[in-house]
Structure 1
Amino acid sequence: MATRAEWTERVERWERSGLSAEKFARREGYRPKQLYWWRWKLRADGPSQPSPTETPRFLPVHVVADLSPVVTEPIEIALPNGRVVRVRPGFDPATLERVLALAAEEASC
């Protein structure tokens, strides 16, 4: 009994051959109905891993500049204690972290 991998390879060879299922199956020694069923089954189960004989294909990739909008307005961070921290674009993350820690304290600043 042939495995799934063997049937995958058979169906791929049949599709590449350009032959009808009847001619291809007769040449290979099995029934056309088996080819049709396995083609349906393999497609229904979704894509499988590429066969060892199949060379992976890569698509070209083009890198473009970052087109995200430039933020010019400050952002506001409202803390649960009611304090608000305004941060301008280009801030230093380490400094912001220290400021937020201080602002989050319950004691008066």
Structure 2
Amino acid sequence: MTRTELRKTWADRVAHFEASGQSATAWCAAHHIQPHQLYYWRRKLRASEKPQTPSTFLLPQWLPLEIDETSTDAEASVVIRVHQIVLEARPGCSPEWLADLVRALMSRC
């Protein structure tokens, strides 16, 4: 039996069990199936039906940065927000250190 056939067989069994209204123990005894197999396949089939939520695979999103070229403020800083964390990079800040810090924070979020 191929994997596809096995999955189809168990999907039919699980659907039959759920429609029966019987307890898992009673249904399994009547169909000569071990309860742990029914529970396993029921969990497996339910997990495959759930769509992947965006939070499962969060990737960094880069946003455009608008720079006002007319600003002459030499002490201006850049504020970076990552979820609830706020970073302020002031002039003279090491770009390598800042990049490492942002990468570390993104790997934790």
TM-score normalized by the length of structure 2: 0.40
More helix by share: 2
TM-score normalized by the length of structure 1: 0.40
